[in-house]
A and B are shown apart, each in its own frame.
Chain A
Amino acid sequence: MSAVAAGIIMHVLLIEPDVLLAKTYMAALRKQGHRISHSVTAQQAIAAADARQPDVVVLTFAIARHNGVEFLYEFKSYTEWRDVPVVLLVSQLNHDMAQRESLRHELGVREVLIVSQLTLKKLCDAVANVGRPAL
């Protein structure tokens, strides 16, 4: 069922440096009815969240000049974004680290998806599971 049909349209902040992957994620999420802001860098993502409050963050672990966890520590230091749930995309190598309890409690990582097993359907399901309805 699409997000429109379920009445849970969300604003998704997507942080993905790979333009081709970002395009496929955006197409799939838009098809579900979500609105997407795409950022390729951490700096752009902060500006995008400032311009429009996200309901969900979809973040890839490896972003230019940072890693995703560094970005999350900065992002979550702002009170208005502390409760925004995060879907983290990681490689198998980072999976153990991404499963740490601190990431869930302190940084709001609700879903960890391993990229080698990722499908567009899994991504859309994860966003639907963790998201909260837009006001």
Chain B
Amino acid sequence: MQRDHRANEFSEQEKLFVSLADGMNNTMLQLALLSEQAGTVPPKSQNVLWQTVHDVSRASLQLLEGYTLTMRLQGGTAEPELEAVAVTSLLYDTLHLLEPYAKQLQVSLVLDVPAKLQPVITDRAILQSALLSLGHVFITAHSESDATNKTVKIGAHMSGHGIVAGWYGQSIQLTTQALRRARRLGGWAQQPYGELVSGPATGVFIADSLLSTVSTRLHVARYHNASGLAVTLPACRQLQLV
């Protein structure tokens, strides 16, 4: 019997894998061409190119790690471990890890958190991996923008439903409808989230998949006049009383 390969026959895991492979294609092309270029310049100029190779590889490894983690969680070979997590320090670490990649793409990263923020109840590794994957997409998206100010914010704030943590940028306008469409098209269309980025937007889907393992999802959010994607997490009330 012949199988009809329509998008709606892909499982969520297959769609995520196709999206990841699409994204990795681009990374591999970057690495191949940077290596070719390094072979044509004098040794002194090669250092800059090898640093780019290093930073691009690291960023892709972060994305691959996020993918592996979500597959393990979805497959039941890993379990979320809920604990009180200090959001500010987690966001700071995330920003620090993405800074070399952002620098290569000439995008500035800013941390925007209030002075006092309650801890949240979640799995630290899952939240960090989700924010790293999402940050990857926001950095790429802003590097593609024709805006002169290419600054991306990682931020958190209190809301009526908990602590909202995510990535924001002023040069993009995201809508819930576009996010819903992106979720349908991810891993199938070549540009599933054209409102945000020209590529496969893999980091968005990895983040979404990771967050679903701790019973939450990405949503469109606004913070300090910037539009972005964020997750709302329950604040840790016990530590709040201490």
Contacts and interface: CB of A to CB of B under 8 A. Distances in A.
Interface of A: 17-21, 24-25, 27-28, 31, 40-41, 43-44, 62-65, 67, 91, 93-94, 115-116, 118-121
Interface of B: 25-26, 29-30, 32-34, 36-37, 40, 52, 56, 104-106, 140, 143-146, 190-191, 194-195, 197-199
Contacts of B198: 17-18, 62-65
A121 B40 CA distance: 11
Contact of A18 (B26, B146, B195): B26
A40 B190 contact: no
3 closest residue pairs by CB, A with B: A17-B144, A64-B198, A24-B33
A8 B197 CA distance: 36
Nearest to B39: A120
Interface class of chain B by DSSP? helix
B145 to A, nearest CB: 7
Contacts of B191: 62, 67
Contacts of A43: 146
15 contacts: A18-B30, A18-B143, A20-B56, A20-B105, A21-B29, A24-B36, A40-B145, A40-B146, A41-B144, A41-B145, A62-B191, A65-B198, A116-B25, A120-B40, A121-B36
Contacts of B26: 18, 21
B52 A20 contact: yes
B167 to A, nearest CB: 17
Contacts of A115: 25, 29
B40 A31 contact: yes
Nearest to B38: A24
B29 A44 contact: no
Nearest to B34: A24
A21 to B, nearest CB: 6
A28 B37 contact: yes
Given A18-B199, A25-B33, A121-B36, 15 more contacts: A17-B198, A19-B104, A20-B52, A21-B33, A24-B37, A41-B146, A62-B190, A63-B198, A64-B144, A64-B145, A65-B194, A65-B195, A119-B33, A119-B36, A120-B37
A95 B181 CA distance: 26
A112 to B, nearest CB: 16
B144 A116 contact: no
Nearest to A65: B194
A130 B194 CA distance: 31
A118 B28 CA distance: 11
A20 B37 contact: no
A20 B34 contact: yes
Contacts of B140: 18
A128 B162 CA distance: 59
Contact of A27 (B29, B37, B104, B194): B37
A19 B105 contact: yes
B37 A93 contact: no
A20 B143 CA distance: 10
A116 B40 contact: no
Contacts of B146: 40-41, 43-44
Nearest to B41: A27
Given A20-B105, A63-B198, A91-B190, A120 B33 contact: yes
